Amino acid sequence: MSTPTAATTPQEAAVPTRTSRTGGARLEERAGWLLTLPFLLLFVVFTAWPVIQSVFFSFTDIRNKDLRTPFAVDFVWFEQYAKAFADPIFRQAAFNTGYFVVVGVPLTIIVALAAAIALNSGISRFRAFFRLGFYTPVITSIVAVAVVWRFLLHPDSGLVNTVLGWVGIDGPNWLGSTTWSMPSLIAMAVWRNFGTGMIIFLAGLQAVPTQLLEASAIDGANAWQRFLNVVLPIIRPTVLFVMVTTTIGYLQFFEEPFVMTKGGPLNSTISASMYTYQQFSFGNYGFAAALSYLIFIVIAIITAIQFKFLSEKGD
């Protein structure tokens, strides 16, 4: 992905020849900054500075009322972080986020991979059609998704329970039950997100040489063995890439519960990001900043572990 290690600049070698020409390097220097400056101004003000400032905020008790004087607030150091760890709702939110990631990420990847393999398996006609169909949920606004899914999952008039009724199953009150609320949101998230992974897997599968598959087929390997021993090792980097990006995305689990359940029932679907947003909207900016940094730290650690895993297997 976008690791800082990609920052090497091969054109350094061009410098000596440039300096030998009349002021070329100076012109290049000026042009470089001229092209960078507009971006940099906006970027520093609206991205870099807020990142730094949020660390500062997380050590203060800044609230709504302090908005006009953000630097006159009291320093409380780690008090907000301590408060977060002691907060039962935040613990519940952290648990829910973990639940979402642990169940949702593998499911999303399996569905995405299955779809990609099916589309790549000698389907010549209609491939673009299926691909488009499977991808449409990705481009849809979460709010539109929520409106439709809330309706589909309605306990009485919803399509899901109607279909279940045909086979004699009395479907639950999906979003109103503490047991079924999370599985409902996970199902929705898998439905909405597997298309992204599918597209990336399709690109990865292009790298699998067909001769290799033919050879192993002749040697008597069945489809499953070929997948496990030929395909999977070749697309492993792609799998890990999709895993890392999906995990990062799911750790920020926010929109689904926000628009579907408001975190309920009984906080059964409240997520860490959503709780952060809630605290923010209550005006507890210092606390919200501390929560956001906790989420960031967890994301950074998990991403680092996944990258280590990725490099250890020697790609």
Partner 1 sequence: MFQDNGLRRRWWLYLILSVALIVVVTPFVWMVLGAFKTSSELRKVPPTWLPENPTLENFTSLFSRLSFDTYFLNSTLVAVAVTVGNLLFCSMVGYALAMLNFRGKKLVFGLIMATLMIPGVVTFVPLFVLVANMGLVNTLPGLILPFLVGPFGVFLMRQFIMGLPKDLVEAARIDGAGELKIFARIILPLLGPAMATLGILTFLGSWNNFLWPLVVAQTNDTYTLPVALALYSTGQNQTEYGLLMAGATVVVLPVLVVFLIFQRRFIQGIATTGIK
Q: Apex CA 95: angle with CA 89 and CA 99, to 5°?
A: 140
The correct pick among 97, 108, 184, 252 for binding partner 1 (CB under 8 A) is: 252
Looking at the Cβ atoms of 103 and 298, the one nearer to partner 1 is 298
Q: Is 134 in the site for partner 1 (CB under 8 A)?
A: yes
Residues with Cβ < 8 Å from 63, sequence gap 6 or more?
73, 283, 284, 285, 286
Q: Alpha carbon of 137 to those of 141, 195, 253, 290: distances in Å? A: 8, 7, 17, 33
CA distance 223 to 233: 15
CA distance 62 to 71: 9
3-class state of residue 55 by DSSP: helix
Span 135-174, contacts to partner 1 by CB under 8 A: 135-152, 156-159, 162, 165
Span 267-296, contacts to partner 1 by CB under 8 A: 273, 276-277, 280-281, 285, 288-289, 292-293, 295-296
Looking at the Cβ atoms of 103 and 217, the one nearer to partner 1 is 217
Q: How far is the CB of 15 from partner 1 (least distance, A)?
A: 6
Stretch that binds partner 1, among 74-82, 92-100, 101-109, 119-127 (CB under 8 A): 119-127
Q: Alpha carbon of 282 to those of 182, 278, 293: distances in Å? A: 25, 6, 18
Q: Is 117 in the site for partner 1 (CB under 8 A)?
A: yes
Tokens 């409106």, residue? 147
Span 194-213, contacts to partner 1 by CB under 8 A: 196, 199-200, 202-203, 205, 208, 210, 213
Q: How far is the CB of 54 from partner 1 (least distance, A)?
A: 5
Q: How far is the CB of 153 from partner 1 (least distance, A)?
A: 10
Virtual CA dihedral for 166, 103, 4, 198, nearest 10 degrees?
-30
Looking at the Cβ atoms of 34 and 86, the one nearer to partner 1 is 34
Q: How far is the CB of 102 from partner 1 (least distance, A)?
A: 19
Looking at the Cβ atoms of 92 and 278, the one nearer to partner 1 is 278
Span 29-58, contacts to partner 1 by CB under 8 A: 29-36, 38-40, 42-43, 45-51, 53-54, 57
Q: At how many degrees (to 10) do helices 88-120 and 232-251 cross? A: 150
Q: Alpha carbon of 235 to those of 102, 204, 270: distances in Å? A: 22, 6, 35
Classify residue 54 as exposed, middle or buried by CB count within 10 Å of its CB (0-12, 13-18, 19+).
middle
Q: Is 110 in the site for partner 1 (CB under 8 A)?
A: no
Interaction pattern, residues 214-243, with partner 1; x per rule: CB under 8 A: x--x-----x--x----x---------x--
